[in-house]
Amino acid sequence: MVSLRRSGLAVTAALAFVSLLPFAVSGEAADYHYDTAYNVSLGILPIARLTFRTEVKDDRYEISGRFRSSGLVDVVREVSADSSVSGIFAGNRFQPERYRLDYKSGNKKSRYTITYADGAAVETTVEPPPKPRPKSWVPVTDADLKSVLDPIGALLIPGDADVCSRTLPIYDGESRMDLVLSPGGTAPFTAGKASGDAVVCSVRYVPIAGYKKGRKDIEYLKSVTGMEIWFAKTATLKLYAPVYAKIPTRYGTVHVSAEAFDG
């Protein structure tokens, strides 16, 4: 089955899809919260469900997400994750201050906590501490952690931006990766009551650090083609957010689809 934490794109493919949230804020910096859910499938087989909540209060925000495996995945190993990010919301941009991920696979539990300052990851705590790394491990350096994005807010793109002409530098507490986006045209989408044309971005995965050289999942993702993220503009905050993603894996294609969208 698909390794949703160790595949390298794991957090981005699953937990970072909190950025699918249909954001809305009423009034000027008014208090607001929103709950929603998403489906994750391997081919036509449902493998997980995600539920999320966004809360905005004045110039502060917190986004939390819950991931729970289902169906055939649970037969092999139950996987769950709870993630959150908090920080400052200003100028339609999310500036993270603290990110946390609690991950469970079978009986194994891990917690990753990242503190941000001025766009850089300045402190990382991993519980329990990782085992000694092999010689083939590519370590994360201080230089790798400058100007990085948190896994939850990485896919929220300002509405005046060229969506697909960018590189997303992501750090999840262990791995530092780039998602290189390039234009892929447009495609019609439907998510709940929302529908329209989405901007399609082709995605290339580039591991930077925090991974084992030669790992099969990493090597596959480096060379795979056909990875896509579809973006549509939200009606209220005028941000581009994903409505669909297609992630080829060694076990089949994973699809992440929004059940509702603020379109």
Question: Average pLDDT, stretch 91-100?
Answer: 86
Which positions ≥6 away from 142 have C-beta within 8 Å?
Answer: none
Which positions ≥6 away from 160 have C-beta within 8 Å?
Answer: none
- Beta pairing partners, 252: 249
Question: Average pLDDT, stretch 170-178?
Answer: 94
> What is the pTM (predicted TM-score) of this model?
0.84
Separation CA 96–CA 62 (nearest Å): 9
The confidence score (pLDDT) of residue 78 equals: 75
Lowest mean per-residue pLDDT among 45-54, 147-156, 205-214: 45-54
Per-residue DSSP letter, 134: P
Residue whose structure tokens are 């939200």? 234
124 vs 157, more confident: 124
Q: What are phi and psi of 63, to 5 degrees?
A: -120, 125
Task: Please determine, for residue 30, whether its predicted confidence score (pLDDT) is greater than 80.
Answer: no
Lowest mean per-residue pLDDT among 21-25, 57-61, 97-101, 164-168: 21-25
How many degrees, rounded to 5, is the angle at CA 31 between CA 30 and CA 36? 120
Which positions ≥6 away from 122 have C-beta within 8 Å?
Answer: 115, 116, 145
Lowest mean per-residue pLDDT among 86-95, 101-110, 127-136, 168-177: 86-95
The confidence score (pLDDT) of residue 63 equals: 85
